[in-house]
Chain A
């Protein structure tokens, strides 16, 4: 069974640009969550999607947005990039069976903003 796939794995952008990251969840998983991981703040919840609807959102500015498609694939977008947006962006998928906390993470997209 294929795991969670994230693309691209690495990317470099400059301040002011925008970026789109993609996530393909495990087949059959309908919930997709996004996290930002930095050395200083650790893992922080961005948002979660289920059946193309945003279920919950973390405490991030509106420059961070996402969406989910009918095949459960998800994208997140960051506009007007800032240096502080440099981070590892992790996508996680899960079955919708209640709050078990068992998330299956991808290997992440490492974003560097220059």
Chain B
């Protein structure tokens, strides 16, 4: 069964304290792995797509990396505005031509204190 596990469930950082979030996945052929950010009361906001092992994507203080079994979201020198829940999702090769059929993890709730 395809599934995504994210750890830790919650992470508290001081402003400027770098860390990483983990996303482990098992899927019958990975089509793509995606990171989203969700603020309270809002829908998820797309951050990155990764397609193959070794690929990396960066955006401001965030960098996403991908291996054959997991992905990491590295946060460098975080600021309070980076506080949010970060969601990881995968799409299997047998996605049936469906754009929206993503399997999401339960997320990591990040809190960055000033």
Contact = CB atoms under 8 A, between A and B. Distances in A.
Interface SS of chain A: strand
A50 B49 CA distance: 22
A100 interface: yes
A104 B46 contact: yes
B114 to A, nearest CB: 27
Contacts, number: 82
B31 A99 contact: yes
Interface stretch (B12-20, B52-60, B89-97): B89-97
A50 B87 contact: no
Contacts of B42: 107
Chain B's interface: helix, strand, loop or mixed, by majority? Answer: loop
Residues of A in contact with B, size category? 20 to 34
Contact of A105 (B31, B33, B45): B45
A72 interface: no
10 contacts: A32-B100, A33-B100, A55-B97, A56-B97, A56-B98, A99-B95, A100-B99, A101-B34, A105-B43, A105-B45
